[in-house]
Amino acid sequence: MRVMMGLAAAVLVGAALYLADTLFAPVVFALFVIAVVWPLQRALKAHLPSLVAVLITLVISLAVVGAVTSIVVWGFTHVGQWVFQNAARFQALYAQLGDWLEGHGFVLASVVADHFDVRWLLRVFQDVSGRLQGLASFLVFTFVYVLLGLLEVDAAVSQLKALERRGKGGFLLSAGADIAAKLQKYMMVRTLMSIATGAVVWVFTLTAGLELALAWGAMAFALNYIPFIGPFIATLLPTLFALAQFESWEMAVFVFVCLNIIQFLSGSYIEPRIAGKAAAVSPFMVLFAVFFWAFLWGLPGAFIGVPILIAAVTLCAHHPSTRSVAALLSGQPADEEASGPVAG
């Protein structure tokens, strides 16, 4: 009965998050931003009035988020323009693929090729660019919550300390501090690796002679913030465009292999060693979190899914009754968990 009630409650919560995404998503993003930028506000508040420190922190946060969003919009816009200017190449390439498939027994390939119009690919890029530009209203609501939240951080901390003194929910204060520290390190490592990945992709595509090298580097930088999905898109798109530009399967395979090596070294080898156990969560759960929150909240959900998972695992690790859940979701062997807190 408890299991059934828990599943029913989970379904109801998921439905509420899905139907009221315009209400919940900005709040969750605001809490995430507050956790990440709080050290900056604290450092500024040591030398400036509280309100001035909050405003400076807010302006810097807006500038950073706006810059990253602009980079993505710029990259997708330039790629979309290139698709429009070279539509005939994609049409001819698709026709060749249809002929090859038909010659190997795929009888419906020619029918699909006859009805293919490369303009749908252009519409995809226009739709993505439009959605990214439509994030402006979302960011406005988010940063209103950030402003109000930064003004109330000290009050919230004092309330948690009062609860701890009364023996009620004392773990929340230490859990909140631990979550904030982990999210700060997660974003620091993710940003450093995104910059490095974008720079390497730009140098490689420029050396390989692929057009729009700067756009591919910019998109690789921005998309690297979304685990699994982002690197996959940043690898697949240049491969398709290399096939259209060079009209060579060998060159397309070369670009695909090299970009996958770059993404593998960045995401699966270098980044875990830099991050350590700050984001000690199961890769299976990371993938599930990305798709689950993308289903609920779209592109913003794909970005925020992993931070939500890190926060949930850390919160479970700080409560005795849920430490086993945190251990299960951490992706770490049992002998490593025995020596200390799971999420630490």
| pLDDT tens-place string over residues 206-248 | 999 888 899 999 989 988 888 888 888 889 889 888 888 887 7
- Domains of the chain: total: 1
For residue 344, is it within any domain? no
106-138 pLDDT tens trace = 555 555 555 555 566 666 666 666 666 667 678
pTM of the predicted structure, to 2 decimals:
0.81
In angstroms, how far is the first alpha carbon of the chain from the final one? 34
For residue 298, is it within any domain? yes
Look up the domain containing 278 and give its range.
Answer: 2-337
Across 78-82, 110-114, 143-147, 288-292, least confident range: 110-114
For residues 92-110, give the mean pLDDT: 60
For residue 188, is it within any domain? yes
Q: Of 15-29, 66-80, 162-176, 271-285, where does the model show the most confidence? A: 15-29
For residue 312, is it within any domain? yes
For residue 108, is it within any domain? yes
For residue 220, is it within any domain? yes
pLDDT at 254: 92
pLDDT range class, residue 280, cuts 50, 70, 90: low
For residue 105, is it within any domain? yes
For residue 36, is it within any domain? yes
How far apart CA 57 and CA 179 sit, in angstroms, is: 20
How far apart CA 203 and CA 206 sit, in angstroms, is: 5
For residues 35-59, give the mean pLDDT: 89
7 vs 272, higher pLDDT: 7
pLDDT at 258: 93
Q: Which residues of 153-176 are buried (b: 16+ CB within 10 A; e: fewer)?
A: beeeeeebeeeeeeeeeebbbebb
Residue bearing tokens 């038909």: 102
Q: What angle do CA 344, 322, 174 make, to 5 degrees?
A: 45
